[in-house]
Each structure stands twice: as C-alpha cells, then as structure tokens.
Amino acid sequence: MLYLSAAFLRGVTGLVNDESSPELEMTPRSGASSGEEPQKIGKDVLSAIASSTSTSFAVFLTGALAVQMGSTLHFGPDSLGLAVSIYYLGASAGSVPFGRITEAVGGARVMRPTAVIAGILLALIAVLVHSTVSLSIVLFFAGIVSAAMQPATNLFLARRIPRNRQGFAFGVKQSAIPFASLFGGLAVPAIALTVGWRWAFALAAVWSGVAALIVPRSHTDLATYRAQHKDPVSPGRTAPLVILGAGFGLGIFAASAMTAFLVTSAVAGGISKSDAGYLAGVAGALAVVIRIYSGILADRRGGGHFKVISAMLVLGSVGYVGIALGSITRFFLFFWIGALVAYGAGWGWNGLFNFAVIRTHSKAPARATSITQVGGRLASVFGPLVFGLIAAHGSYAAAWIVNGVIAVMGAGVILLGRQMLLNPRREA
C-alpha cells in the first residue's frame, strides 16, 4: 500500500511539475536562513508537532474510543457525530480571530499557553466528564484551543524554517493530526480495553504539558516583532483563499467523518473492537508517512501543489467506496484496503495544502491559513453530524458513499481556487 501511494505521488508530481504551474514563483524568500543548523530545525519541527498533537487529542481520542466511551456515557452514532461537530464549531468560531492575534504577537507566544490549556481540557475529560452534554461542552472549548494552535504553528514554522525545507516541515507538522488518530487507535487495545478509556485522555494531558515546556521562547520583544511584521493579506487574495477554503472544507468534511466513525463502522461491520483499533492505528500511521513524503516531494517540485492535492482527494474517494463495500459485504479486506487508501490519500494532503497556501501568502501565513481553515472547521461541524445521521437512519455504507462524492467535489473546488489565485490580473 505504501509503495502504491508513493508511486501515485511520483506520477502526479511528473504531471504537474511544469511551467504552467507557477505557484512557487509567487512567493518571496522566507525570513529564515537556508543555512540554519539542522539540529535547530529539528527542534522547531518537533516543538510544532508536539504542540499540534496536544490540541488534536481531544477529538481524535473521542472518535477512536467511541465504543468504550459510548457504553459509559450512553451515546450512539448520532450523539457522537453531534459531539464531534460541536468541537469543530468551536474551532471554526476561533479560527480567524486567532489568526489575527497570532500574526500580531508571533507563533511561539500563542503555542505555549495553548498547549497548557489543551492539557487542562484533556484532564477534565479524563476526570469529570460523565455525560454526552459535559463531553460536548469540553470538546467545544477544545475546538477553540485547536483554532488557536494551528495558525500559531503555521506562523512559527514559516518564520523559522528555510524555504527549501518547508514542505517537509509542514508535512511533519500536519502529521500531528493522524498521529493523534494513531495514538487513539492503539489506545483501544492497549489502554481502553485494559485499564479504561479515561487513562488515554490522562496520558494525552501529560503530553500537552511536555509540549508546552519544549516550545522555544521568542528572543524578540513584542513591540519589535509588531514593527517587523505588519503585512496583512491583501484584498486581492481574499476571494481565492475563500474558494480554496471551501474546497479544503469539502475534503475535511469527508476526512473528519472518517476519523470519527472508522472504528464504530468497522465494529458494526463485524470487525472485533481490538482489530478495529489496530485498523485505525495502521491507517493513521500511513497518513503520517504520506503527509511527510508529500512534503518532501513538494520541496523538490516547482509548482502544481494544488493539483496534487486534488488528485489525492479523488484517490481518497476510491478508499471511501472500498470501506462502503466492506460494510456491505463484510469482507474485511475491502475494509482494510479502503481505510488505508482513504487515510493515506484522502487525509494525507493537509500538510501540502497549508504549505501551498503559505507559499503563496508568505507575508501573512497565519492570517492566510486561518481564512482557509474556516472552511475546514465549518465542514468538520457538518461532516460527522451528517455522517452520523446517515449511519443511524440509513447505513454506514451509504454514509461512506456520500463521503466519496464530497471528496471529489472538494478536488474540483480546490482547482477552481487555484485558477483564481494564479489569475495574472491579480497581484503576484
């Protein structure tokens, strides 16, 4: 599967790496020095991925541990979908405001307190949550915290990582999200089925505390930083960002539903609880590898990043259909292959998307990505909710087919946004 995914990415790279895809040419040189020490770059990337993971645990642990949590908190697929949607509602509400705040004060100044708050919220789930209502309330605030962390880590890497290493850096950073899913999947047999699901959230809270400690302190005082970074997103760029955000949202609509319901769907399809957890873990690991590998290829490519993203979404839709076939036939091989393709291609493009947006808006990376993230956050409100309703009142197979259709639509909208962004009448 990994070999096939790598071959696919190489093939797409060859198709789009031409002079008609000048996204890279529109980007001024990053402020980071290309001669920075590899050790310092590694520490910065590690800090970003640890911080991003801290704010992703709440929702992905909830999805992976839904079977065990549901038996304790007494909720079904529709209530699970609602709780996850509330998380993304909080994230969508906080995205643009925190993008502005981050651009004004710097990434590191936002990352450290945000990781601390994320740890507190995870501890609350571990200790105090005893109903779907209380879980939903905590998830809402966890979503707001996630909205603060994402533009902060994007700005942090854009300012500190050399331009020729940013594809790799953003691929690794965005791997924090499937890593949280990987941890959640492995937590089912290792923790939830042994000592209980609450301990998984407790361990995630400890991770968040450690992440806050390793965030480097800014060596520039706030007044100096604000004087150096005053560039906003220009009005001519806003419309393409909104369209790109809409396409991003359609892709995330499908992916957020997948991460919330893969385990419960697998169990409903006849797979054991422990095997379903391993499935989510292996699929999450593949998503990590693909995100990093696609970032490495992006550093070598002269443009066409949004084309690659669209192609990956289309391939991911094939994975959703495979999961649907597994649900219908109860032939577990379909389920496994479908999940690996859906996670690898259908969820492996997020880091590349942020990289492409930042490459075309390097003067205001936090602001630009906060605008596109609104589409993803809003779609994530409706993705799990719609999926849960279809699964509860129809079937899991029907819900997975809808996921596939939505992913293909997202690919088309991203190509439209790319065309608007490259319109020669707009400033470059």
What domains sit in the chain, N to C, each tagged with a CATH number? Answer: 2-217+225-421 (1.20.1250.20)
- Report the residue count for the chain: 428
Mean pLDDT of the chain: 81
| 382-396 mean pLDDT | 88
Coil, helix or strand for 418?
helix
Tokens encoding 319 = 């994975």
Identify the pLDDT of residue 280: 83
Radius of gyration of the chain (CA): 20
CA–CA separation, 335 and 181 (whole Å): 17
- Tell me: pLDDT of 12 over 50: no
In this prediction, what percent of the chain has a pLDDT beyond 90? Answer: 28
CA–CA separation, 173 and 398 (whole Å): 33
Q: Band of the pLDDT at 162, cuts 50, 70, 90?
A: confident
Contact 378, 88 (CB under 8 A): yes
CA–CA separation, 95 and 102 (whole Å): 10
Of 119-123, 228-232, 279-283, 361-365, least confident by mean pLDDT is 228-232
| 141-163 mean pLDDT | 88
Identify the pLDDT of residue 234: 54
Identify the pLDDT of residue 10: 45
Residue 374 Cα distances to 98, 113, 273, angstroms? 11, 22, 34
| 13-38 mean pLDDT | 41
Of 152-156, 208-212, 235-239, 253-257, least confident by mean pLDDT is 235-239
Identify the pLDDT of residue 224: 59
Identify the pLDDT of residue 181: 64
Which residue carries 């760029």 as its tokens? 237
Contact 273, 138 (CB under 8 A): no
Residue 272 Cα distances to 75, 103, 269, 420, angstroms? 20, 47, 9, 47
Contact 81, 385 (CB under 8 A): yes
Identify the pLDDT of residue 17: 40
Taking only the tens place, the pLDDT of each residue in 44-103 is 888 888 898 899 889 888 887 888 888 888 887 778 878 888 898 898 888 888 888 887
Identify the pLDDT of residue 232: 54
Of 74-88, 201-215, 222-236, 411-425, least confident by mean pLDDT is 222-236
| 376-385 mean pLDDT | 83
| 257-274 mean pLDDT | 86
Identify the pLDDT of residue 21: 38
Please give the helix or strand (H or E) that residue 278 lies within, else none: helix 273-300
- Tell me: pLDDT of 115 over 90: yes
- Tell me: pLDDT of 31 over 60: no
